[in-house]
Chain A
């Protein structure tokens, strides 16, 4: 009974994480509603109080410009202030603390739990986990992601973190490099996300056994091995919430910002930027967990993406159902250490 409640609680937590991505859009909408509401009770305006004139000026009503500057067609735009408050407020501050907290949590996890080692001895028999096309798709996505994440974080936090270290002139040069890298890598990231999602969606569909993983929290704290098919529930969560929802959201809003002059207004770009930056912070926070477990956090986890082959022991311990299925599907491989196999496949 209590295990069912815990399952529900975990699902609710997951929903909160997804919900956060949509929060800026909702908040911007409610701010507009608030402005409309105050304007609606215009009947209460006191004589001599000219606030309504300013409100209508900010709404841009009945305004015209003979020689319109390309940038602007209204007297005062208030949305910029909303954008500033969100960008300099929650996104920079909460976002920064969130990333720091995730990093500290991973360090603590490593110190307390240690590396997740193989329990059995490696058999030396290898099973193919990712073929060459899949690995190419993954590493294209991974490299573009890291470039974008680092350059994006430079633009958001550099003023507070890097300027004090390297100075104003050097940072300006560095930030220009970051901006151009970010703008040029962005479209490639979006394209590779789409390819990646199509390639891996099928094996990431939720399966009955995932309930067990949720109930045992993946055995992350207990050290118990929970069986799964090709991907366990943790990987699936990273896939659906990280790559699919946040990746496509951040990628699509990035394209809106990257290619101005296609009819998007400044307000569209402000909203796109808030979703882009907020989503990217969550995406980076999740990616830290993925990168940790894929590299230093678990013995043998890197092999699958490096060489394409994993040891049978690793497969049995971490993906038991998939192991039983794949063992029969893959032709028997000669016993060889993973490194030799890696060079052989190139």
Chain B
């Protein structure tokens, strides 16, 4: 079975927000909700500016799932984290816990009361029958059931945003890193996790950069 992942290549993202728009349009998300957003670091600093598109990262140890008081979250066979809006009580705990700001709530009723949580579904809908009207209404389109990948990545003009099986996505990214001479390697690999040492020397010998 596939293990679905998003990966955004900071060397390629041009902050066009095409992914944000594609997502909003495809899923007809409620007003004020933005399932995907583009964060720019060092905006305007020459040579240091980097942009990244972020949405739900479909974590393996998902904090939203861990703190939800009514247990609405579940993980599909593809490793996609989905939730059941019918059971959501709008407490906002997933919004406190998520590192990526994925869960969002439409305001509903008095006192800033929260409605049902909405987040990126990896274009995989919800617990309703695949492709049903109820599913479309609550979660947006179920592209995965149609054999398609998330629209944000499909429509990315520079192919910075990749979505799909982790193995395929990292193969594509690894090839890019090698071809362009190392830039972007900081996102993956031994050195990022553990620092330099034997591995750093091996990497240098291998002709990388």
Contact = CB atoms under 8 A, between A and B. Distances in A.
Interface in A170-218: 171-172, 175-176, 179, 183
Contacts of B33: 69
Interface in B161-194: 186-187, 191-192, 194
A57 B186 CA distance: 14
A69 B40 contact: no
Interface residues on B, range: 35 or more
B190 to A, nearest CB: 9
B138 interface: no
Contact of B89 (A62, A71, A78, A179): A179
A282 B115 CA distance: 31
Contacts of A81: 63, 97, 99
B101 A260 contact: no
B100 to A, nearest CB: 7
Nearest to A57: B41
A120 B123 CA distance: 76
A271 B20 CA distance: 31
B112 A260 contact: yes
Interface string A149-164: 0000001101100010
Contact of B43 (A64, A80, A172): A64
A101 B148 CA distance: 54
B157 interface: no
A84 B63 CA distance: 7
Interface string B193-205: 0111100100100
Contacts of B200: 47-48
Interface residues on A, range: 35 or more
A258 B111 contact: yes
A159 B70 contact: yes
A67 B35 CA distance: 12
Given A48-B191, A266-B95, A270-B96, A74 B70 contact: no
21 contacts: A47-B200, A48-B186, A49-B192, A51-B192, A53-B186, A57-B41, A62-B45, A66-B15, A66-B38, A75-B39, A77-B101, A80-B98, A84-B97, A159-B70, A168-B70, A172-B72, A172-B86, A259-B111, A261-B107, A269-B92, A273-B96
A263 B80 CA distance: 33
Interface string B94-133: 0111111101110100011110000000000000000000
Contact of A48 (B20, B54, B96, B196): B196
Interface string B21-45: 0000000000011100111111101
A159 B104 contact: no
Contacts of A112: none
B99 A62 contact: no
Contact of A64 (B39, B90, B95, B194): B39
A80 B97 contact: yes
B194 to A, nearest CB: 8
A50 B69 contact: no
Interface of A: 46-51, 53, 57, 62-72, 74-78, 80-81, 83-84, 87-88, 155-156, 158-159, 163, 168-169, 171-172, 175-176, 179, 183, 258-261, 266, 269-270, 273
B87 A67 contact: no
A169 to B, nearest CB: 7
B22 to A, nearest CB: 13
Contacts of B191: 48-50
B91 interface: yes
Contacts of B96: 80, 83, 266, 269-270, 273
A71 B39 CA distance: 13
B61 to A, nearest CB: 10
Contacts of A88: 66-67
A311 to B, nearest CB: 46
Interface string B46-57: 000000101000
B137 to A, nearest CB: 19
B111 A183 contact: yes
